[in-house]
Amino acid sequence: MQVFKTKIELGVFIASCKTRSKTIGFVPTMGALHQGHLSLIAFAKKESDVTLASIFVNPTQFNDPNDLKNYPRNEAKDLEMLLEAGCDAVFMPNEAEMYPEKDTRIFDFDGLDQQMEGAHRPGHFNGVAQIVSKLFDAVQPHKAFFGQKDFQQVAIIRKMTQSLNLPIDIIACPIVREDDGLAMSSRNQLLSSEHRKAVPLIYKTLQKARTLAYEKSVGQLQEWVEETINDSGLLRVEYFEIVDEQTLLPISSFTAGKNNVGCIAVWAGKVRLIDNVTINL
Ligand code: PAF
């Protein structure tokens, strides 16, 4: 597995792949890898000739400096896991390499960033678009693979790719869960043992909400989900929104045949987790 630290070294590798007409599958990450990331690598390997991952903790997408400071980092273990998973190459730039000067670009996501993560983490998606557009520029992938756990992020990246006219297929891959239902996330390793025991309630509640959609209104379902999770005493729901899968706008009632997604953000102590499920009639 080749490891590149600079865009110049990476560029030579990418050019040689293109000369040999190899398709490139790209998995951008912020490291602290888990099985969810490895499933993205597996999808990329299946669908491309060359699989390339990046590891870069992008400062511009953190609206909370403490979150950036505490974000888990373990490069040596990440590299071992990528090697084991059969990844062909890794791009691991430092901050100066990705931001030689301040990125002042402001992206327009046509309203997709107005709710949920966008509303609760100001500037977050603009930072994501800044780094992903820079990485796309450096890697020039044919396909890029993202986890569906970050449902809104996938929509934002699709929008950005479209607006910039980039010939890249954005592939959303299914959420990977622990045996107890917790969606895999790099932040899970920051949970205290008490909170770790409490957090399976999030997915359990979302699953139950899917069946309750047949008997409750959207408003009643939101209230029920928030109460059920908050009643644990250890978890605090920041939002639970049921949105249209395409527009990401909150729905006010269920319509048969329409695809909706129930998206949640929950504080477990100082750790903020997100998850989502489809909720359809
Ligand atoms: O989902 C992530 O890990 C990050 O938001 C991404 C896409 C790697 C950009 O920094």
Looking at the fold, whether 159 and 203 belong to one and the same domain comes out as: no
pLDDT tens, position by position, 215-254: 999 999 999 999 999 999 999 999 999 999 999 999 999 9
Atom of ligand 1 nearest to the CA of 128: 9
Looking at the fold, whether 146 and 113 belong to one and the same domain comes out as: yes
Looking at the fold, whether 191 and 248 belong to one and the same domain comes out as: yes
Tell me, what CATH number does 227's domain have? 3.30.1300.10
Helices (H), the chain: 7-19, 35-47, 65-70, 75-84, 95-98, 117-120, 124-139, 151-163, 193-198, 200-212, 218-230
- What pLDDT, on the 0 to 100 scale, is given for residue 281? 85
pLDDT tens, position by position, 119-159: 999 999 999 999 999 999 999 999 999 999 999 999 999 99
- Ligand 1 centre to CA of 3 (Å) is 19
What's 60's DSSP letter? G
* Protein residue closest via CA to atom 8 of ligand 1: 29
Q: Which residue has the higher pLDDT, 150 or 255?
A: 150
Looking at the fold, whether 136 and 244 belong to one and the same domain comes out as: no
Tell me, what CATH number does 123's domain have? 3.40.50.620
Q: If you average pLDDT over residues 99-121, what whole number do you get?
A: 97
Nearest Cα neighbor of 198 from 208, 188, 211 is 188
Looking at the fold, whether 161 and 49 belong to one and the same domain comes out as: yes
Looking at the fold, whether 142 and 201 belong to one and the same domain comes out as: no
Write out the residue range of the structural domain in which residue 70 sits: 2-173
Looking at the fold, whether 121 and 194 belong to one and the same domain comes out as: no
Residue 271 in any domain: the answer is: yes
State the residue for tokens 């678009």: 129
pLDDT tens, position by position, 150-164: 999 999 999 999 999
Residue 37 annotated as catalytic: yes
Report the domain count for the chain. 2
pTM: 0.97
Residue 9 in any domain: the answer is: yes
Task: Identify the band that residue 30 occupies on the pLDDT scale cut at 50, 70 and 90.
Answer: very high
